[in-house]
Amino acid sequence: MTQREFLQLVAENYPGIEARLPFYCSCYSPCFPTPQPISPSATPTYAFLTASTPLTAVAGNGIAFTVRNTSGDIFVSGDTITLQKPGVYAVTYNLNLPYATTLSTQLTLQLNGARVAGTQVHVNKTDAASSNTVFGQAILTVPTAPATLRLISSAAINIPVESNADILATMNIIRL
């Protein structure tokens, strides 16, 4: 007995059963579930941000980013990033410290004005003869929107651009 014949026999003896069989159909090939369309709520939310001008920040303030690419529901104004949808977000950032730059600070993500526990990164670059990259990441839960996100520096930052193409900081934000 083929799979098709078996399913027909079951359907004849148990009316309405096909609605309860996830793989019921009358085709000759193996049956597979029908793919479901992506719901509008599953539309991705993301942003790729950079800082390529001379990077400056006052102690206790955030680093100002520029939007390079976004899904349209994450906005940036100066050092404040606004998340327009609640949810869980993956946030990564890096700070590229070029030669001749020294910096001693602590970087921390701040959500709605409160420091996010576990996101503090210590930076202590005292050697002006080498470059350095600092990296941080976090998974953040945003229960209500809009919410504000900032990357705060505990000390003043003043990093000159060595060339116009230098990207001194980046941040990626993805709603999971």
Q: Is the pLDDT of residue 27 over 60?
A: no
Residue 96 sits in the same domain as residue 23: no
Tell which wins on pLDDT, 4 or 80.
80
Give the 3-state secondary structure of residue 5.
Answer: helix
Range of the domain at 143: 43-175
Same domain, 72 and 20: no
E-strand stretches of 52-130: 55-57, 66-70, 74-77, 80-83, 87-97, 103-111, 114-115, 121-125
Q: Are 55 and 24 members of one domain?
A: no
What does the pLDDT look like over 13-22, one tens digit per residue?
766 655 555 5
Q: What is the number of structural domains in the chain?
A: 2
**What 3-state class would DSSP assign to 38?**
coil
The C-alpha torsion from 141 through 116 and 44 to 22, rounded to 10°, is -30
pLDDT digits (tens, 9 = 90+) for 67-78: 999 998 999 999
Assess contact for 157 and 63: CB atoms under 8 A: yes
Question: What pLDDT is attached to residue 44?
Answer: 83
Residue 157's CATH number: 2.60.120.40
* Same-domain pairing of 80 and 151: yes
